[in-house]
Amino acid sequence: IARTFIMPGQATRKKSVRLKLNTIKSEFAGRNVLLVDDSVVRGTTAGEIVQMARDAGALKVYFASAAPAIRYPNIYGIDIPTRNELIAYERNEKEIAAKIGCDWIEYQDCHDLEEAVRSISDPERPLTTFDTSCFTGIYVTGEKIGDEYFGRLHQLRNDSAQESRRNGVAVPSSESEAPEETITSSGGDEGCESMHNDKRDVVTDAQKGCEAI
C-alpha cells in the first residue's frame, strides 16, 4: 500500500490506513504507549492509529513526529496537499493532539534537525542551506511567490479539484478561470495572511510574511 498522504480522497486514505496497519492487543492493553511516525501531514494515519491503539486497550496514547510540523505546501515536486488540508495549519500542538485524539504530540524541532544533518556532513563539503519550506514557509529559491501562484496551486491540488479530475470534470488552471476566492486576513494587512501560522507562544515579527491562500 502506497503512502496514504498522496492517495486521492479522504475516504480512500482512511481505508488504506486500516488495511496496512494492525494492532497486537496484548502489546497495548492497559499500557501507556508512544506512537512514532516519520511525519504527520493531513493527520489521517495518525488519527487512525491513535484510535486503533485506544481500541486495543491503551490507557494513554502519546505521539511523536520525527519531522517538524508540516504547515506549508511543497513546490519542488512533492505532492504535499494545499495548506488548508494540513493538520498543523494554524494549529498548535495541543489543538493537533485533540484533532487526532492523542494525549499529547511532540514534533521534531526544525533547528535541531538541521544541526543534526550538519553534524554528519563532510567537513570538506559542509551543508549550509536546507529546503525546510514545508515547515517554515521560506523557500530556498528565494523568489517572492505571489497570490496568483499559490492560488493556482490551491486550485489544482485541493481534494475537490482532484475529485473533479477523476470524474472527468475540467479544473480551472489559472486564477482568471476560477471563481473568485475570498481571502481572510489573520494579520493587519488586508488580503495578506501571516506567513508563520505556527500558533505556539513564541512567534516574532521577523517570522511573519505574506502568503496567498
Q: How far apart are the first and last CA of the chain?
A: 32
Residue 15 phi/psi, 5-degree rounding, is -65, -40
Q: Beta-carbon neighbour count of residue 166 at 10 Å?
A: 10
By percentage, how much of the chain surpasses pLDDT 90? Answer: 39
- DSSP class per residue in 43-105: SHHHHHHHHHHHHTT-SEEEEEESS----S---SS--PPPGGG-TTTT--HHHHHHHHT-SEE
Cell of 109: 524541532
Q: What is the pLDDT of residues 101-146, one digit of tens each?
A: 999 999 999 999 999 999 999 999 999 889 898 999 888 876 655 5
For residues 186-204, average pLDDT: 42
Is 123 in a helix, a strand, or coil? coil
Is 153 in a helix, a strand, or coil? helix
Within 13 Å and on the Cβ side, how many CA atoms surround 164? 12
Model confidence at 206, pLDDT cuts 50, 70, 90, reads very low
59-93 CB burial, b ≥16 within 10 A, e <16: eebbbebebbbbbbbebeeeebbbbebbbbbebeb
Q: What is the pLDDT of residues 77-91, one digit of tens each?
A: 776 667 788 999 899
CB 63 within 8 A of CB 105: yes
Which amino acid makes up residue 135?
A: F
Model confidence at 176, pLDDT cuts 50, 70, 90, reads very low
The answer to whether the pTM exceeds 0.75 is no
Confidence check: pLDDT of 92 > 60: yes
Q: What is the pLDDT of residues 60-73, one digit of tens each?
A: 999 999 999 999 88
Highest mean pLDDT among 3-7, 18-22, 179-183: 18-22
Cell of 62: 502519546
Look at strands 104-107 and 193-194 and give their pairing. Answer: unpaired
